Amino acid sequence: MSDSLTFDIKFEEKSEGGHTLFVREHKTRVEEEHRPSGRTVIVCNIPPWCPKNSIKANFGRFGKIKDIQLQLKPGKKPEEEENTNNRFSVAYIVYADAASIEKLTKAANMKKPKPMYANTIENPVITGYPLFCAEYNQSFPDIKKLQANINEFMANFDDQKTEEQMKADDGWQVAGKKKFVRLTEAEQNEMKKKVAKKRKRDQQLNFYSFQIRESKKNKIVEMRKKFEEDKQKINRMKQERKFKPVAS
């Protein structure tokens, strides 16, 4: 297979329109273990409504398929499986033998190749509201996997805290299972300096906080004192009949 071959694919048999799939043999200069030359084809322009099981059903008639790798663009296999839902994609199809590619080539070169359909009775395609519900349910994480990750994280966290506690306990440091190495005098002095520096910084922060609180208290006392003085002044002016809040 030197040139690209084409197959027409429709959503279902009664559909009027469809898409054209472009197929060619996958060849690289460097041999890829997961995409062996002579047994792998690349299929481009796969429509969003054609899932992996439909690809397997249509291309499986040419021979036994060992693997189908779906991704968004041609190129190296991504480290994590890409989400191709609702997007055009590319498929690398790995057959069990090279004879399958020969059958595929002969079928594509026929005057009227047998059409391909994504949605069939044997392989129904979920669309509409059921598809929305399925994608919504898949958006939530697996509770068991999530709990396993949490347990693993907490176990590592507990081990780390235990190791830190043992380091601080009388200058001993864990070096392995049931093995301890005493810290040198220089290392112990360095740890003491860090503790003293942190303690001094905390004291300074507390002192500044105390100053701010005292300043606020003094300001409130002064305001109350001035308020009382103003009240007394107003009372004296009232008695002397000099207090006139509104001009006549």
The mean pLDDT of 113-119, rounded to a whole number, is: 88
158 in the same domain as 107: no
Q: Is residue 71 part of a domain?
A: yes
Residues 105 and 12 in one domain: yes
Residue 78 lies in a domain: yes
Q: Is residue 135 part of a domain?
A: no
Are 168 and 90 in a shared domain?
Answer: no
105 contacts: CB under 8 Å, gap ≥ 6: 1, 5
pLDDT in the model for residue 8: 92
What's the mean pLDDT in 223-245? 81
Q: Quick one: pLDDT at residue 242?
A: 63
Instruction: Count how many domains the chain has.
Output: 3
Q: Locate 67 and state its tokens.
A: 């693997």
pLDDT-derived band at 182 (thresholds 50, 70, 90) equals low
Residues 15 and 113 in one domain: yes
Both 157 and 204 in one domain: the answer is no
Tell which wins on pLDDT, 171 or 219.
219
Summarize pLDDT for 199-215 with one digit per residue, the tens: 777 666 656 666 777 87
Contact (Cβ atoms closer than 8 angstroms) between residue 17 and residue 8: no
**pLDDT at residue 127, as a whole number:** 79
CA angle at residue 237 from 233 to 243, to 5 degrees?
115
- Same domain assignment for residues 206 and 171: no
Co-location of 148 and 54 in the same domain: no
pLDDT at residue 64, as a whole number: 94
Higher pLDDT, 194 or 204: 194
3-state secondary structure at position 73: coil
**pLDDT for the residue numbered 247:** 53
Statement to judge: residues 147 and 36 lie in one domain: no
Those residues with Cβ within 8 angstroms of residue 101's Cβ, 6 or more apart along the chain or in another chain: 1, 25, 38, 39, 41, 62, 63, 95
Asked if 94 and 66 count as a contact pair (C-beta separation under 8 A), the reply is: yes
- Which has more pLDDT, 86 or 181? 86
Q: Tell whether 11 and 97 lie within a shared domain.
A: yes
Q: Do 19 and 59 share a domain, yes or no?
A: yes
Secondary structure class of 142 (helix, strand, coil): coil
User: Domain range holding 70?
Assistant: 5-124
pLDDT of 167 reads: 60
Q: What is the pLDDT of residues 146-171, one digit of tens each?
A: 888 888 898 888 888 777 766 655 55
Domain annotation covers residue 157: yes
pTM across the whole model: 0.53
The helix/strand/coil state of 94 is strand
Pair (110, 221) in one structural domain: no
